[in-house]
Amino acid sequence: MERTRILIADDEESMRFLLREVMTRQGYEAVAVADGEQAVQKVREQDFDLVILDVKMPGLDGLQALRQMRRIRPHLVVLMMTAHGTNQVAVEAMREGAYDYFSKPFELEEMRIVVRRALDKHALLSQILDLEKRLKGQASFDRIIGQSDSMQQVFALLTKVITSDVTVLITGESGTGKELVAQAVHYHSARKSKPFVSVNCAAIPETLLESELFGHEKGAFTGATGTKLGRFEVASTGSIFLDEIGDMPLSLQSKMLRALQEREIMRVGGSKPIKVDLRIIAATNQNLLKCVENKTFREDLYFRLNVLPIHLPPLRQRHADLPMLIEHFINVYNPRLNKNVLGVSSEALEAIMSYPWPGNVRELENVIQRAMVLASGTVLKLEDLPSGVIAGKGTTSTTFTDTESEPSAATSELIQDFTIPLQQKIERLSEDLEKKIITAALEKANHHRQATADLLGISRKSLHNKMVKYQLFGSRYDNGEE
pLDDT tens string 4-46: 899 999 999 999 999 999 999 989 999 999 999 999 999 988 8
pLDDT digits (tens, 9 = 90+) for 358-408: 999 999 999 999 999 999 989 999 999 998 898 875 443 333 333 334 445
**Residue limits of CATH 3.40.50.300 in the chain:** 140-313
Q: Which amino acid is residue 287, in one-letter code?
A: N
Q: Write out pLDDT tens, residues 301-314.
A: 999 999 999 999 99
Omega cis (within 30) before 314: no
**pLDDT score of 89:** 75
Q: Which residue ranges does the chain devote to CATH 3.40.50.2300?
A: 5-130
Q: What are phi and psi of 272, to 5 degrees?
A: -115, 130
Residue 437 or residue 124, greater confidence: 437
pLDDT tens-digit series, residues 179-225: 999 998 998 888 988 999 999 998 888 888 999 999 999 888 887 88
CA 151 to CA 312: how far, in whole Å?
8
For residue range 56-93, what is the model confidence (pLDDT) as tens digits?
888 898 899 999 998 888 888 999 888 755 567 767 88
State how far the alpha carbon of 279 is from the alpha carbons of 25, 115, 167, in Å.
Answer: 34, 24, 6
> CATH 1.10.8.60 region(s) of the chain?
317-478
208/55 Cα distance (integer angstroms): 58
Closest residue by Cα to residue 313 from 224, 181, 130? 181
Q: What is the architecture of the domain spanning 140-313?
A: 3-Layer(aba) Sandwich (3.40)
Task: Give the per-residue pLDDT at 446.
Answer: 75
Long-range pairs of 42-48 with CB within 8 A, sequence gap ≥ 24: 42/7, 43/7, 43/69, 43/72, 43/73, 43/76, 44/72, 46/5, 47/5, 48/5, 48/6, 48/7, 48/76
How is 6-59 classified by DSSP, letter by letter? Answer: EEEE-S-HHHHHHHHHHHHHTT-EEEEESSHHHHHHHHHHS--SEEEEES--SS
- What is residue 199's predicted lDDT score, i.e. its pLDDT? 93
What CATH code is assigned to 5-130? 3.40.50.2300
Give SS3 for 142.
coil
Which CATH architecture fits 317-478? Answer: Orthogonal Bundle (1.10)
